[in-house]
């Protein structure tokens, strides 16, 4: 089992290149099978989640040609099966985007039902409500969702909750339905817009992505395209909070500053300096950071995927901060780990009260999930002494060359898998 071992105390300084958005790429790869022509997708992050989804896509017969680490060509002509096995869904929930893609194109899809996950129970009722509204019969049998329609017909659909996944999944199916679909109360995240732009570049007719209402005029066929995925706002924000927590000076490159506004606003509130350029953002922290309150909300609110990273930073800010997690019920597990490093935290229901401390002290901690794992690495970088982060397989799902990027900013971090490697690291840094 691989771990990160970190010697904390170095401020992070320098420039770091941000990769393509994992969550946009997952949906775009699934949507790519909707064309029978070759689609080329660039700026893919080279992370485990993406590689698993590409296996799932190849597994149903589509041509998948990895041009290089960040570029893939997909052709959906050879798809012979519309059945996605539990193995894929278990490894990566977002395989459920193949439901919308297959149903839209072939009017039939069978996808294993995803269960809950480490951050909480994850219902998909809104996805299914959308498919049913478009005319599909949707049954759950033997752990599978089976969706089928003689034809899909556009409808006016009002989502009960704002869901990224449901918005994208239903948008994909509606892209190849007959007539006009109007989706209301949709998610406005940048990756929803990116998926709509991708589908439009294949000939779909989708308007309004990024607002509360999306209008989709169905088309019969989607054609070839070449598309570059947007930068990952969560990866960018992770490095921005790493700069804040380590009293560093980091410029995140290749980003869309507009997508980072909620993060930037909080960094300014706690006393960091933030400078925006056309495609970069610089964060400078000179210490003496102050507490604040934060509530996670759908975009353009503060992202739940940045909650652990801000939580770690607030635990080092002077005063009492309150975090309210309003999207997922089980996203404070990292705070128990952080308490082992000296943080002063109290969790009640969906809110956490954090009394800032001057320092963390290094400890052995476990990554409870992807973003929380990254946040614990930030804590280790800010801590006195040595921190070992276990279960980094979660981090590798969504961060490309995480330790290398951190090292390029001056972090002392290594990936290790044996006691011998740990001892070697200790000798090197002592």
At closest approach, how far in Å is the CB of 169 from ligand UD1?
9
Measured from the CB of residue 299, what is the shortest distance to ligand UD1 in angstroms?
Answer: 7
User: Residue 231's beta-bridge partner residues?
Assistant: 20
Q: Which is nearer to ligand UD1, 38 or 51 (CB)?
A: 51
C-alpha to C-alpha distance for 288 and 270, rounded to whole angstroms: 9
d(C-alpha 96, C-alpha 107), whole Å: 15
50 is in an annotated binding site: no
Is 23 annotated among the ligand-binding residues? yes
146 is in an annotated binding site: no
| Beta carbon of residue 27, minimum distance to ligand UD1 (angstroms, whole number) | 7
- What SS3 class is residue 151? coil
Q: Which is nearer to ligand UD1, 122 or 215 (CB)?
A: 122
Q: Hey, what are 275's tokens?
A: 């400078």
Closest CA to 353 of 383, 325, 382: 325
Closest distance of CB 290 from ligand UD1, Å: 27
Nearer to ligand UD1, 23 or 247 (CB): 23
Beta bridge partners of residue 144, listed in sequence order: 112, 141
Could you tell me the smallest distance in angstroms from the CB atom of residue 427 to ligand UD1? 39
Q: In whole angstroms, what is the distance from residue 195 CA to residue 190 CA? A: 9
- Any known ligand binding at 305? yes
CA-to-CA distance for 133 and 58, rounded, in angstroms? 30
Q: 66 among the known binding-site residues?
A: no
Considering 117, 272, 317, 377, which one is annotated as catalytic?
A: 117
Strand partners, 295: 324
Distance (Å, rounded) from C-alpha 87 to C-alpha 100? 19
Q: Which residue has the tokens 């999306």?
A: 214
From the number of C-beta atoms within 10 Å of its C-beta (0-12, 13-18, 19+), residue 194 rates as buried
Shortest Cβ 55–ligand UD1 spacing (Å): 17
Whether residue 212 is annotated as binding a ligand: the answer is no
- Closest alpha carbon to 114 in 130, 92, 132, 131: 92
Helix, strand or coil, per DSSP, at residue 360? coil
The helix or strand, by DSSP H or E, that contains position 391, with its residue range, turns out to be none
Instruction: Name the residue whose CB lies closest to ligand UD1.
Output: 165
Closer residue to ligand UD1 (CB): 125 or 273 = 125
Answer yes or no: is 28 a known binding residue. no
Nearer to ligand UD1, 26 or 172 (CB): 26
Cβ atoms of residues 171 and 205 within 8 Å = no
Residues that bind ligand UD1 (CB under 6 A): 23, 26, 94, 122-127, 161, 163-166, 187, 303-305, 327-328
**Cα(227)–Cα(361) distance, integer angstroms:** 45
The helix or strand, by DSSP H or E, that contains position 67, with its residue range, turns out to be strand 63-68
Report residue 341 as tokens.
């490093």
286 annotated as ligand-binding: no
Residue 21 or 382 having the CB closest to ligand UD1:
21
Closest approach of Cβ 386 to ligand UD1, in Å?
A: 30
Both structure tokens of 202: 């294949």
Catalytic, 291? Answer: no
Choose between 26 and 383: whose C-beta lies nearer to ligand UD1.
26
Q: Which residues are catalytic?
A: 117
User: Could you tell me which residues are annotated as the binding site for phosphoenolpyruvate?
Assistant: 22-23
User: Could you tell me which residues are annotated as the binding site for UDP-N-acetyl-alpha-D-glucosamine?
Assistant: 93, 122-126, 305, 327
């Amino acid at each position: 089992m691989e771990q990160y071992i970190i010697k904390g105390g170095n401020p992070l300084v320098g420039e770091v290149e941000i990769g393509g958005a994992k969550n946009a790429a997952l949906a775009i790869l699934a949507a790519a099978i909707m064309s029978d022509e070759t689609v080329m997708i660039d700026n893919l992050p080279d992370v485990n989640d993406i590689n698993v989804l590409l296996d799932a896509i190849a597994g149903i017969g589509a041509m998948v040609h990895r041009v290089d680490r960040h570029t893939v060509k997909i052709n959906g002509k050879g798809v012979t099966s519309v059945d996605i096995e539990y193995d894929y869904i278990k490894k990566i929930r977002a395989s459920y985007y193949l439901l919308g893609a297959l149903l839209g194109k072939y009017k039939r899809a069978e996808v294993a039902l995803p269960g809950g996950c480490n951050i909480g129970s994850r219902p998909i009722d809104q996805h299914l409500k959308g498919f049913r509204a478009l005319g599909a019969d949707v049954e759950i049998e033997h752990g599978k969702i089976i969706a089928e329609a003689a034809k899909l017909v556009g409808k006016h659909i009002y989502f009960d909750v704002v869901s990224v996944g449901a918005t994208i999944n239903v948008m994909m199916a509606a892209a190849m339905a007959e007539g006009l679909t109007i989706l209301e109360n949709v998610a406005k995240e940048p990756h929803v817009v990116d998926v709509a732009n991708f589908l439009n570049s294949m000939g779909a007719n989708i308007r309004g992505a990024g607002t509360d209402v999306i209008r989709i005029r169905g088309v019969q066929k989607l054609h070839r395209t070449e598309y570059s995925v947007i930068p990952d706002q969560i990866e960018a924000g992770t490095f921005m909070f790493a700069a804040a927590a380590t009293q560093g000076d980091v410029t995140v490159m290749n980003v869309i500053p507009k997508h980072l506004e909620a993060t930037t606003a909080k960094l300014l509130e706690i006393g960091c300096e933030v400078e925006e350029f056309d495609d970069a953002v610089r964060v400078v922290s000179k210490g003496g950071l102050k507490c604040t309150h934060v509530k996670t909300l759908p975009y353009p609110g503060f992202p739940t995927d940045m909650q652990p990273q801000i939580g770690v930073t607030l635990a080092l800010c002077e005063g009492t901060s309150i975090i309210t997690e309003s999207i997922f019920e089980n996203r404070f597990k990292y705070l128990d780990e952080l308490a082992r490093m000296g943080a002063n935290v109290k969790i009640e229901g969906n809110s956490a009260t954090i009394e800032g401390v001057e320092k963390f002290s290094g400890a052995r901690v476990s990554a409870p999930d992807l973003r929380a794992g990254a946040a614990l690495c930030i804590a280790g970088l800010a801590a006195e002494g040595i921190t070992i982060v276990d279960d980094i397989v979660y981090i590798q799902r969504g961060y490309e060359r995480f330790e290398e990027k951190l090292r390029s900013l001056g972090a002392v971090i290594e990936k290790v898998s044996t006691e011998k490697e740990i001892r070697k690291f200790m000798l090197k840094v002592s």
